[in-house]
Every structure is written in C-alpha cells, then in structure tokens.
Amino acid sequence: MSTQFFLEETDIDTLINLLLRSQQSRTREALCVSIGIDPKRLSFIRDSSESDFFLLLIRYLNEIGEQEALCKLCCKELLPVFHHGKYAPILSEIAAKLNCNQKLSQNFTNNQQPTVLSSSPAPSVSVNPFIQLAKNKFIRYSVIVIIGLAGFVSFIQSSKLSSNADTTEQPVSLSPTAKSNKSVNQQIIDIYQEVLGRKPTDNELNSNVNLLENRQAELSNIRAWITKTSSLLQDGNVISLECLGNQYTGLRFLDSRIKNNNVSLGSSNIDASTKWKVHIINNRVVALENQGVINGSKWLDGVTADDSVKLAPNTKGGYTGTKWTINILGDGVVALDNQGKSKWLDGVTADGSVRLAPNTEGNTGIRWRISKQ
C-alpha cells in the first residue's frame, strides 16, 4: 500500500467545505460505498460531526494512499455539483494533482464511466461530462436533450441552494441588519459545542469574533479550523509549537536545549528538543512531554510563583504547572493557559526567552502554531 500523501492541507480544507455544501441529504455509508470504501472499515463513521467525519475520511484516504477513492470523491461526487463557478477550476487542480484522468480510466469499465473523464492521459481534468458520452453513436442524437435537461436541473438545484442554504455557509455580517436568526456569538458557541463537545472560552470566542469582524474568515472556515486543530492535539501525537510573536528574530520554536531545566525559543524544529508529545488529561487540558530529554525532567511546567517556564520530572505532586488548558484561536493556532489561572505560555521572540504572561492583552507571544511531527 502506498504511503504517498497526495493532498495538502489547503486541498483537504477545500474538499471538506464542498462536501459540507453538497452532502446535505446523503448518508455517510452511501458516500463511502460510492467511492469504493467499505464503511465498516471506518471506526469514525459514527459519533462525529459532519465536518469532523469528512476531515477524518479525507485524511485517512490520503494517509493510506487511496488515490482511486480520492479521485472518485473529487470527480464523481463533487465536480458534477460544482462544475460551474469558482470551485470548478479549484477542483480541477486537485484532480490533476491526484492524476485522476489516468487513474479512473484504468479502473472504470465502459458501463461505469466516471463523471469527468478525458480521453487522453493529460494531467488536466475536463469539466464537460458529455465529451465521452458524445462518442457513443446510440446517444449522440440525445446530447442536445440531455444538455437541456441538465441545465434545467442545475437551475432548480441552484434555486434551492440559494433559498435553503445553511447559515454556516453564508458570508457573516455583524451589522444590526444581519438576517441570521442566531447571533454570531451563539453560532460560534454552537460550532465549539458540536465539534469539541464544549463551549468556547472567552478568549476563543473573542478571537473568532475578531476574525469574522475583520473579514478574515467565515463560519465554515472556523468550523474546519477547529476540527483540524483538535485533530492535531490527539493523545500520543508529537507536535512542535511555533511562537507567533510579532518581533521576528528567527527564534520561534519551543525548545528544551537550555541548562537548569529551563526552556527557550529555538530557530528550527528539526531536532527532538523541539518536539512535544501530547498527553490528554481531559477534554481541554493536556500535558506536554519533551522528546529530546531521555533521562531527567521533560514535562513542560509553568511555575506560577515566579512566572518562569521550566521542565519538571513528572506531572504529579507539586508540579501542578505541567497541566495546560487549550484555547483554539485559529487555523492550527492555540494559546496555553497554565492551570486556568490566567498565566499564559508566552514566547518573547525578541530575545528567545519563554515565560508566563499574566494576560493575553498585548502579548502576541501567547499565540502558538502547532504542527504534527
């Protein structure tokens, strides 16, 4: 089985967004069968939100190298729905990256043609599904009728979508004349509740409201970001933490390479000293174990007595600062609140030091981008 990764994170986010728009009345099992995947193989098919399921499905297919299933998802499921408008060229690029023309032409029989297929093995994807059909004499004279019917169906579907679209798919307006039945705050609360099973913290809520106010995101983006970020923080995952402080000096990755069990910011994340294993304490609280320390203190510890950040030998006893509350603030961006005492993990990018900040106001170093290693 191939271990090649075909899709990048931006491609995965695009497919999730389009699946959320197109799969409104279809079961998860039917989707899996359509793309050639046995739903019984998927442990996550139940007990997850729609966006979480799509994220896990695409990541799973990508990681195990299921190129054919990804092609069917892109070309058979999505391109017929989004064959017009701004998403058509984006889907075509993803299909070309997957080399879908060649893959589908090798695996489909004559009576099982893919929705979009080119007669040549060129890496581009045709978005006209009638080119192949027109080659068949039996239906050549029916093409005009089919085109007319397809146009009519497309018009009806577009009308339904425009009148019945979910509020999470509409551009968000925070003006008093907004037509949404729910306040923006409540919609964000609902997203956190649905994806994570909890309400957002004040910092999470304020951060996402600011993104919406500044037109840097829509509600559909926020849902995808929360889903993606929470998947990076699964128990046992190894991550790096990149400080997003606004004084860029090249020192940005949380690093254990310093004496006296202190931590600092390093310039790269290629060494084990900048890798941290996630240990889930509960729904929002984690402990972080440094992977560069073999014997000795290796747990990230916020010492609230003097606002220092060090490494502790374990997470028990008096080392209460080894437990960190997660705040998801954006796409892979978190803030770490030490024991919920408003003592925030703060990287000072100007000099590479790490400390505890008393609050989040004006401290850009409390924002950390996490990446799975």
User: Cα(236)–Cα(278) distance, rounded to whole angstroms?
Assistant: 5
- 5-17 per-residue burial string, b: 16 or more CB within 10 A, e: under 16: ebbeeebbbbbbb
Phi and psi, residue 346, nearest 5°: -130, 120
* Nearest one of 4, 8, 5, 2 to 228, comparing CA atoms: 8
Per-residue pLDDT, 165? 37
Per-residue pLDDT, 261? 86
pLDDT digits (tens, 9 = 90+) for 243-276: 999 887 789 999 998 777 889 999 988 889 999 9
Q: Convert 110-174 into a string of H (helix), E (strand) and C (coil).
A: CCCCCCCCCCCCCCCCCCCCHHHHHCCHHHHCCHHHHHHHHHHHHHHHHHHHHHHCCHHHCCCCC
Per-residue pLDDT, 21? 78
Q: What is the CA radius of gyration of the chain?
A: 24
Contacts of 104 (CB under 8 A, 6+ apart): 68, 71, 72, 75, 114, 117
Average pLDDT rounded to a whole number, residues 179-199: 83
E-strand ranges in 192-303 read 238-243, 253-255, 264-266, 276-280, 285-290, 299-303
User: Cα(355)–Cα(366) distance, rounded to whole angstroms?
Assistant: 10
Per-residue pLDDT, 290? 95
pLDDT digits (tens, 9 = 90+) for 350-365: 999 999 999 888 788 9
User: Is 129 within 8 Å of 95 (Cβ atoms)?
Assistant: no
User: Is 232 within 8 Å of 12 (Cβ atoms)?
Assistant: no
Average pLDDT rounded to a whole number, residues 280-300: 90
Alpha helices in the chain (DSSP H): 9-22, 28-34, 50-63, 67-71, 87-97, 100-107, 130-134, 137-140, 143-164, 184-196, 202-213, 219-232
pLDDT of 59 > 70? The answer is yes
